[in-house]
Amino acid sequence: MVSSDMEEVLDGVRVILVTVPASAHRDLARAMAPYLQAGQIIILNPGRTLGAVEFQHVLRENGAPPGLTVAETETFIFASRRVEPGVSRINRVKRKVHLAALPAYRTASVLRQVRHVLPQFVAAANVLETGLSNIGAIFHPAPTLLNAGWIESASQFDYYHQGITRGVARALERVDEERLAIAESYRVRAVPARRWLAAVYGTRADDLYTAIQRTRAYGGLKSPASLEHRYVFEDVPMSLVPLADLARAAGRSAPVMESLITIACALTGVDWVKKGRTLSSVGLGGMGVEEIIDFVKVGLRKVPHPQTRTTSSWNGETVASDAEAFMGPDAP
């Protein structure tokens, strides 16, 4: 079925695969919320960073029914490019793509539903692992921003094999080191970008530059035609911004990520932090590392309820007290 009618598309289906850029997730969640049904599974392929958390938060804010499961993958399953409107070229299907549900205990049931169609999907520990394994955050914004002059001169080039020089690759390694440090803070076993290339594409090398040059699936993939491209409008606000915010919450610095965000804002004239995913914007504002970890594992978060009224059992007197409730993934 091909349709632009959201209600028609969602009615009665078990699994919904969302493959739009992460910058469209908020709007899509708002549009889907009135038509979703309990028991349905939504998979963001990919979620980028904090994608499932944001999607679930927006669904809840817009009255979606309880009993939904939102999951995300760490990366898009295809290495592909749009050739022209309505036509894409798939260079390679990735060997293995990690998936996690929110909360994490639902991951196994999601995989059972899709394994016969998408056997490449395998379990990740939780959505922090998928979000912190977001290799797009390494390979997309930095090469685009560091090649801005070449891109704006309207001279397309091989994005990976020409755009990622040894110097650019060194910058990518720095961003990757920051990502791995953030992952360590949240007890996530993230894989370095070079090892990810080996696992996904079978490419092996002693350094990231050589590994990228040896990755045949990247051959012929052209650079963006302008800076108005998802490598900026998706990967900066939906990858670098939440990664930098996770770093701050953990008391870590991420100076190269922060610099790339600043450069992206300066080059485009857009405040990508304001437009991006922050802990506050996805409903995790004020949480510490342990609270965030608990939330993605079991779906519970503390919500303060000042001046909750309680009644004593011995004299019937009502007294005011401060309390905290725990909200789960299906809470209103």
Both structure tokens of 41: 């599974």
Length of the chain in terms of residues written: 332
Q: Where do we find the tokens 């995300």?
A: 72
Instruction: Mention every residue, 6+ apart, whose C-beta is less than 8 A from residue 101.
Output: 52, 69, 70, 71, 107, 109, 110, 127
Cβ atoms of residues 253 and 247 within 8 Å? yes
Q: Is residue 256 helix, strand or coil?
A: helix
Q: Give me the numbers of helices (H) and strands (E) for the chain, helices first please.
A: 17, 9
Q: Is residue 304 helix, strand or coil?
A: strand
Q: At what angle do helices 166-185 and 255-268 cross, to 10 degrees?
A: 120
> CA 31, 280, 232: angle at the middle one, nearest 5?
70
Question: What letters, b where the CB count within 10 A reaches 16 and e where it falls short, cover 45-80?
Answer: bbbbbbbbbbbbbbbbeeebeeebbbbbbbbebbbe
Residue 275's alpha-carbon distances to 146, 175, 260, in angstroms, are 22, 21, 15
The answer to whether 140 is a known catalytic residue is: yes
Looking at this protein, which amino acid is placed at residue 189?
A: R
Q: What are phi and psi of 327, to 5 degrees?
A: -100, 135
Q: How many Cβ atoms sit within 10 Å of the Cβ of residue 36?
A: 22
DSSP 155-218: ---BTTTTTS-HHHHHHHHHHHHHHHHHHHHTT--PPPHHHHHHHHH----SSHHHHHHH-GGG
| Catalytically annotated residue among 25, 140, 176, 245 | 140
| Catalytically annotated residue among 235, 294, 305, 330 | 235
Looking at this protein, which amino acid is placed at residue 39?
A: G
Q: Which residues are catalytic?
A: 140, 235
